[in-house]
Every structure is written in C-alpha cells, then in structure tokens.
Amino acid sequence: MPDTQQAHAQLGTLSYVSPTPESPWGTYLAQVDRVLPYMGELARWSGTLRRPKRVLIVDVPIQLDSGEIAHFEGYRVQHSLSRGPGKGGVRYHPDVTLEEVMALSAWMTVKNAAVNLPFGGAKGGIRLDPKTLSMHELERVTRRYTSEIGIIIGPQRDIPAPDVNTNAQIMAWMMDTYSANVGATSTGVVTGKPVSLGGSLGRVKATGRGVFVTGREAMRRLKIPMEGARVAIQGFGNVGANAAELFVQAGAKIVAVQDHGGGLYNGHGLDAVALAAHVAQHGSVAGFPGGEVLGTEEFWTVETDVIIPAALEGQLTLARAERLRAKLVLEAANGPTTPAADDALAARGITVLPDVVCNSGGVIVSYFEWVQDFSSFFWSEEEINLRLDKIITGALNHIWATCDKYNFSLRTGAFVVACERILQARNERGLYP
Ligand code: NAD
C-alpha cells in the first residue's frame, strides 16, 4: 500500500468496531481507499469519510404481552452531516450490528451526494426479529426506540425512513412519538409515512422504480434489448417485487427469484404480480406454483441478462461472482457485492451498477416527501415519477460520463463524484473552533 494510503487507512482506525475486508464497514473503507487518490487536496479531509460523525447506541426496554421485560439493542449512526441533515432508513433484523449500521449510514452519505440531494448520511437499526413480536410489542419497541434516539433526530437534524422489515406504519408511530415528545405535529421528522400523514405518493414503489429506470438506462448503453431480457432477482420484498413488476411491464421476463424461504426458476418468465400476491399471503416465494424449485447456489449460476441482488449486503461473494452468468448487475440492495467480487466481475466484463445510484430512488422520493411536508403542498404521483426519473437519469449520466473520461468502474466513478461533493462541503465549512 502506498504511504499516503496507509496514512489514510490509519485515520480510519476506530476502537469500537473490528472490520474485516469482507465485512460491511471493511467493504466501505476499501471503496473509499479506491477514490482517495483522485481527491487531490481534498484528501486531507478523508478522515471525515472514514469516521462516523456521531454513533448512538440505545437500550430499548419494553414490556412484552406476557408481562415480561425485554431489552433490545438499538442504534442510530449519523455518518456525515456536512451537506445537510442526516437521512437514512431504520432496519429491524436479528443480525443488525453497530458495524452494519455504520456502513449503511456511510453508504447513505455517498448515495445522497452521488445524486446531489441536500442531505448527509445516517442509518438506524434494532437487533430484533419482528416475526417474534406481536403488533402491540412492535409498536412499543418502535415508540421507545424513537424516544431514545429523539435526542439526535428531527426534521432539520436527521430524518429516518423505512428499510428492511420497517414500513409506513412504523414511520407513523415514529412520527407520532417524536411529535408527542416535542409537543407539536412534526410530519417532516420521518419519510415513508402513510399518505394520510404527509407521506408522498409514489414513495412505496420509488426504490424499485429507481432500480428499473437506472437498469433501463444501463441496458440502453450496453445494447441489451429490454424486450425479452432475462432478469433474476434475489429478494422479493418492497424493492425486488416493485422492480420486477416494472421490468415485466417493459417487456422483460423474470426467470429466477430467491428470498429467505427459497428459490424459483421459470425460463418463460414468472408472473411477477401473482408472485407478489403469493409473497403477501405466505411470506415467501417458496411454494409458488409457477416455477421450478431453485437451490441457493444454483440461483447465482442461472444464465440471465440482468441480475438484481435486492436482499441484504454481502450476498454477491467472490465465489458467486466467478460463476455468475449475467451481463449486468443492478445493486438494488445496499452493499450486496464484496470488493473481491467487484474485481472479479470487472475482470469478467460484467457491468455493476452500484447501489449508491441504483437504489437511490427511495431517498430521492423521500427528499420530495420532506420538501412537500415543509411546504404543506403535495404533488401528483405523475409529477413525482417524472421528477424521480429526471434526477436519477441525470445523476447516472453524469457518473457514466466521468467513468468514460477517466476509465473508472461505475462504482469508483459514483464514489469519486460523491466524495468530491462531500469533501468539498467539509472543506468550505471548515472546522469549528
Ligand atoms: P424487504 O424486507 O421488503 O425485503 C427483503 C427481501 O430480502 C425479502 O424478500 C427477504 O425474503 C429477502 N431476504 C432476506 N434474507 C435473505 C437471504 N438470506 N437470502 C435471500 N433473500 C433474503 O426489504 P426491502 O425494503 O425490499 O430492502 C431490500 C434491500 O434494498 C435492502 O438491502 C435495503 O437496504 C435496500 N434498500 C431499500 C430501500 C427501500 O426504500 N425499501 C431503499 C434503498 C435500499
């Protein structure tokens, strides 16, 4: 490693996490290391990228329906507030860790800057399995968590949103709890709310729509015809299912899907709408009658034009990248590709559209929601979808042009564009005192 990079790497040493090259924070640090040589004088601020600005760990105690007291570990990490308030989702999952939330918050900083939204980056999470809690317990845990992180969130400070296993109802409870604590209705404290409470039309489908729009643009550039294109999707939740529907509407076919319950294959194309209805009823794609059962590893070897990891991070490993038979990877999930897999895909000529652009549709419409809440003036769904298309396509075109000019991968190009904006803002703000 060159001396300058080593010096930068040392700046990132934190006592409270122990990242590995494949772990989420380790993956993020490796991505930052790749772009620092292109930051020129701004690289002196690189410590701001390698350290979260603020890390809050909270105990979330609740009374269970049985009368017992349970404690859950909750986090809110504000990675950067240089370009605006923190912005990022809240995840409920039994495997959530501080390190994971840190990486997700950092990717939010990069994502918001890559598409030029006036936000920093943040993320939250609670280590719990929502499937083991009743609706009342879920409400109590959400309200207590919101109260605990209430000291750092707010419409001008940090604005949470839904992520894995959280939804509009959970955002409504968060908004209500925050509002009760501050003594005023504060719709702009969270996004992804129900439309009746200041939510935005088009928000629920926005991330899947963004994946489709960026995929459509990438396919056009790579000369992959949409009509009849074979698409495989890992994760058939909010993002995966909505992206699937739009790809099918545009003429592509979903040949393979996989979720936590199993995998399916159908060379003629799965019925995405019927499959979404099956998932809504049964909780998984498993058992859907319209396809053959597909093994966990087999999923990654299906011949496709486009593959969309839309589940969790770290799924596209080196071993899977070496066997992948696709032309284009659309990173709908956050951090789905490990750095070693990224290199292997680049060497094999497989284009990877990075998460920070590909799945930015959700935060773009969250931004619209926040703006609409401030002005108390709401836009039509058509207007929202048009503005989303314009922002995300413009951001992708700018990043693609940067890559063509400097011969970067799309990820490096997106990080260069984003990190330059973040460090520029930090540089212009200067240090206090
Ligand atoms: P979701 O909870 O609606 O769906 C998650 C999906 O992943 C489910 O189909 C689940 O079965 C599947 N899954 C979980 N573990 C799996 C495993 N081990 N193997 C295979 N599949 C597995 O979540 P979502 O909102 O669709 O989010 C999916 C991804 O997109 C996450 O990485 C999230 O951070 C990212 N993302 C979401 C949004 C948003 O607006 N919802 C925005 C940006 C990024």
pLDDT digits (tens, 9 = 90+) for 2-15: 554 554 455 458 99
pTM score: 0.94
Cβ-Cβ contacts under 8 Å for 184 (sequence gap 6 or more): none
Output the pLDDT for position 12: 53
Residue 415 falls within a domain, yes or no? no
Are 151 and 225 within one domain? no
51 with 105: CB under 8 angstroms?
no
Please check whether residues 167 and 255 belong to one and the same domain.
Answer: no
Q: Is the CB of 92 under 6 A from ligand 1?
A: no
Tens-of-pLDDT digits for all 433 residues of the chain? 455 455 445 545 899 999 998 899 998 999 999 999 999 999 999 999 999 999 999 999 999 999 999 999 999 999 999 999 999 999 999 999 999 999 999 999 999 999 999 999 999 999 999 999 999 999 999 999 999 999 999 999 999 999 989 999 999 999 999 999 999 999 999 999 999 999 999 999 999 999 999 999 999 999 999 999 999 999 999 999 999 999 999 999 999 999 999 999 999 999 999 999 999 999 999 999 999 999 999 999 999 999 999 999 899 999 999 999 999 999 999 899 998 999 999 999 999 999 999 999 999 999 999 999 999 999 999 999 999 999 999 999 999 999 999 999 999 999 999 999 999 999 999 999 9
* Residue linked to tokens 């918050």: 105
134 lies in the same domain as 213: no
Q: Does 412 contact ligand 1 (Cβ within 6 A)?
A: no
Quote the pLDDT of residue 8.
45
Q: What is the pLDDT of residue 222?
A: 97
Supply φ then ψ for residue 119, to 5 degrees.
-130, 155
Q: Are residues 213 and 340 in the same domain?
A: yes
* CA-wise closest residue to 392 among 361, 417, 352: 361
pLDDT at 22: 83
Best residue among 239, 264, 320 to mutate for probing ligand 1's pocket (most ligand atoms within 8 Å of CB) is 239
Does residue 110 sit within a domain?
yes
Report the first-to-last Cα separation within the chain, whole angstroms. Answer: 34
Residues 262/282, Cβ–Cβ less than 8 Å: no
In a domain, 153, yes or no: yes
Domain count within the chain: 2
What token pair was written down for 265? 């294959």
Between CA 182 and CA 190, with CA 186 as vertex, the angle to 5 degrees is 115
**Which range marks the domain in which residue 264 is found?**
206-353
3-class DSSP state of 236: coil
> Is residue 433 reached through a cis peptide bond, with omega within 30 degrees of 0 on the bond before it?
yes
How would you label 341-353 residue by residue, b for 16+ Cβ within 10 Å and e otherwise? bbebbbeeebbbb
The finding on whether 366 has its CB within 6 A of some atom of ligand 1 is no
Whichever domain contains 280, its CATH number is 3.40.50.720
223 catalytic, yes or no? no
Catalytic residue among 53, 87, 111, 123: 123
- Given a contact cutoff of 8 angstroms between Cβ atoms, the answer to whether 72 and 141 are in contact is yes
Contacts 24+ apart (CB under 8 A), 278-284: 279/236, 279/237, 279/241, 284/259, 284/260
